[in-house]
Structure 1
Amino acid sequence: PPEDPDAPAEAPQRTAQTLYDLVEGARSEILIESAYLILNDHQLSAMSDIGKGRLQVAALTNSLATNDLVTNHSGYARWRRAMLEQGIELHELRPDAPACQRWVAASAACEGGEVSLHSKAVVFDRETLFIGSFNVNLRSIYLNGETVLVIKSPELADAVADDIRYAMEPRNSWRVELNGQDELVWRSEGQEVQHEPEVGFWRRAMSRMLSWLPIEKYL
């Protein structure tokens, strides 16, 4: 059904409530593919079983190098450490990802290392697929009118899950983790860096500065 324009400003949209219900019912695994990924304390508390053996959550989103909007990346960066501490496995797309050849029919579009993630899907237990215009971020949860399909098909869910896991491989994405000194690191194909990879100082500085502002609900 369409979103309710008279819903309270702080109430999640119906599509978001559907997503919450699916998260609550997940038994073992949630795989997220979202161009923009912003979760705050409320969403993270809804996944309190992460890291306790019941629920594994892994997410693929754009890196600063592949994100088309520094502002949106800054909202993700503001909560990135909290997501890692919650136990979420984070992967950020590389601009030179060979996965582009698999996603785009015109292979010339993949030349020059300018791949970017625009798809939005969540797979639950490789049985149920949540797919549509919904980014896993606060704007989709509270503000936007989104359209989604909930498809209960193990065959389709498994195929999408395999594609997400393929995109998470080191050749396609950086895995973001906390090292022994509790510092953020980006790891891929045996390499490790301690700052947002493949971008210049000013783009990193802009993202960091914007991440200090509590504007993520509007991104």
Structure 2
Amino acid sequence: MIIRITAITKKCFKYAAILLGVYLIYAFVFGVVVFRFLTPAATDYLEQQAVDRFWEESVSKDRVALLEGRYESGLARINLIENAEESLDIAYFSIHDGMAANIFFSSIIEAAERGVEVRILLDGIFHNMRFDLKDVAYALHLHPNIELKIYEPIDLLRPWTWNNRLHDKLIIVDENLAMIGGRNIGDEYFVKEDSDAATNDRDVVIVNVDVVAAVDRDSAIIEMKTYYDQVWNHEFSEHMVTKLSTGQQRKGEAKILELKQFLGELEEANPEMFDHSVDWVAESFPTNNVTFIHNPLERFNKEPWVWYELTNLAGAAAESVFVQSPYIIPTKKMMEILDEAGVTVQPEAVNVLTNSLGSTPNVFAYAGHKRHRKPMVDAGLNVYEYHGPGSLHAKTLMVDDRLSAVGTFNLDARSAFLSTESMVVIDSAEFTEHLKNEIEYIMGQSLKVADDYSYLNEELEKLEAENADEDSVAAVTVREATMLKRLMIGILSLFSYLFEHLL
């Protein structure tokens, strides 16, 4: 009898292993391989969206404020939530447990308590509302003024859905304020002190100075809200929690009380963090035009709307182009689109800022980036790599010292063809000059990659040429990567080409 049971058990394990193997092959083919060969369905999007629509000569009703500092951008989020009167629409890729998440959620509950209608939309896989944050999801579900949805949750039977990720980062307050940028919600994005663990990013706040006119779609905020509604109501989005058990309800109620107590104690200890008097008009710059752009909502490979727009903007440049991205991984398809845009500025007028091997926290993406580092330098581009504290996570394009694009788009195939992405294109010489000054500070902590792929210290070279005192200027120190990090990236880079379409 025992022998028979053992034989049956072995047979069950055998069939289970076969089924698992078949499933893994199925998942690999439809979750990885097909994306390398599928071509996005072409539409007349480009014909309908002329590049000259980004420029205007009259003053827009939208003003724009830049949020560069980590701590300041955290305070700005508190202020926006505090100032919401009717509605608060929020979208994020990822929430990381910690102080920032506690402040974020407790402020949202406080807004809902005073009658603000809150909608929160998170990515269906990378939302991180698990473990310690699971009770927060219960708490949000319990509040009558809060709705919580996730976009494209994990579906084990349809692996092609795994790459359709929500990468937007938006906060829309009523119809007069909106924030967009690259920051997720996590302590590393808002920490005040510099450290190697800090993440340096960029947000902008759009200020509509004429809310009545916004109804007539004069404001980019209305474009953002329309897009948010589209994603919110899409079949890919569903409520994270639909029903709570008695135990889950108790946990949710306890979490609400805990977050309220947390916020009260924090306000008492740090009253300066909760200042309602931010004058966003005074903090912002006038614009001629602000245009909101985004990718379509599709599974498999999307038509690359945002990449179309950014390459066409680069193609319209007459003097200079600046690009900042955490990593640069342009696939063959992306380069074909760039070539079609007909960029005419000379390579020496193109500046690229990205992470160095020492500063990058993303070994998988950097392994893909490594293949393109030499070709960019060989093409004559000015490539700068960051060696300061923390890492770079901002995504920005500047054209001719007048036009700026800020948002969530990384220069890679995932942003071009797979994820939801959004940016604002800002026509404002004043804002772009301010942004340029902030970026120059980052460039001062970066090193230019020389023709032989080593680093130049341009400030010291300039001083040497002028026979000045070298000691009067501090050289930028190369930030070395650990041996383990170098080894991992080196090995991954050997195979990165095979998976470049997913990086």
Letter in 2 for 1:3: N
Question: Hey, what's the Cα distance between the residues in 2 that align with 1:54 and 1:208?
Answer: 28
Task: Look up the SS of the partner of 2:450 in the other structure.
Answer: strand
Higher-Rg member (1/2): 2
Matches within 5 A, 1:30-49: 30-44=321-335, 46=338
Give the deviation of 1:197 after TM superposition: 4.5
Question: Hey, what's the Cα distance between the residues in 2 that align with 1:138 and 1:29?
Answer: 24
Give the deviation of 1:26 after TM superposition: 1.0
Q: CA RMSD in A?
A: 2.7
Give the deviation of 1:40 after TM superposition: 3.7
Say if 2:425 is the partner of 1:134.
Answer: no
Give the deviation of 1:43 after TM superposition: 4.4
Q: Is the 8 A contact 1:49 1:55 kept in 2?
A: no
Task: Look up the SS of the partner of 2:329 in the other structure.
Answer: coil
**Bigger RCO of structures 1 and 2 (CA < 8 A, at least 6 apart):** 1
Q: Whose helix fraction is larger, Structure 1's or Structure 2's? A: 2
Task: Look up the SS of the partner of 2:374 in the other structure.
Answer: helix
Question: Hey, what's the Cα distance between the residues in 2 that align with 1:206 and 1:173?
Answer: 23
Residue in 1 that maps onto 2:487: 205
% identical equivalent positions: 25
Offset from partner CA, 1:156-198 (integer Å, 9 cap, x none): 11221222233222xx01211222xxxx2123365799xx841
Residue in 2 that maps onto 1:4: 296
Q: Is the 8 A contact 2:403 2:427 kept in 1?
A: yes
Give the deviation of 1:34 after TM superposition: 1.4
TM-score, normalisation: structure 2: 0.35
Say if 2:307 is the partner of 1:16.
Answer: yes
Question: Hey, what's the Cα distance between the residues in 2 that align with 1:134 and 1:25?
Answer: 19
Residue in 2 that maps onto 1:76: 369
Aligned residues: 191
Residue in 2 that maps onto 1:173: 446
Q: Which residue of 291, 299, 317 maps to 1:26?
A: 317
Unaligned stretches of 5+ residues in structure 2: 1-226, 228-293, 461-474
Unaligned stretches of 5+ residues in structure 1: 98-112
Say if 2:500 is the partner of 1:216.
Answer: yes
Task: Look up the SS of the partner of 1:18 in the other structure.
Answer: helix
Q: Is the 8 A contact 1:39 1:136 kept in 2?
A: yes
Q: Is the 8 A contact 2:398 2:405 kept in 1?
A: yes
Offset from partner CA, 1:139-169 (integer Å, 9 cap, x none): 1111111111011111111221222233222
Question: Relative to 1, partners in 2 of residues 1:218 and 1:82: Cα closer, same or farther, differing over 3 Å?
Answer: same
Task: Look up the SS of the partner of 1:134 in the other structure.
Answer: coil
Give the deviation of 1:116 after TM superposition: 1.2
Task: Look up the SS of the partner of 2:456 in the other structure.
Answer: strand
Task: Look up the SS of the partner of 2:420 in the other structure.
Answer: coil
Give the deviation of 1:133 after TM superposition: 0.9
Question: Hey, what's the Cα distance between the residues in 2 that align with 1:129 and 1:38?
Answer: 21
Question: Relative to 1, partners in 2 of residues 1:36 and 1:55: Cα closer, same or farther, differing over 3 Å?
Answer: same
Q: Which residue of 419, 432, 456 maps to 1:187?
A: 456
TM-score, normalisation: structure 1: 0.75
Question: Relative to 1, partners in 2 of residues 1:127 and 1:69: Cα closer, same or farther, differing over 3 Å?
Answer: same
Q: Is the 8 A contact 2:401 2:432 kept in 1?
A: yes
Question: Relative to 1, partners in 2 of residues 1:158 and 1:12: Cα closer, same or farther, differing over 3 Å?
Answer: farther
Letter in 2 for 1:125: D
Letter in 2 for 1:74: A
Letter in 1 for 2:486: R
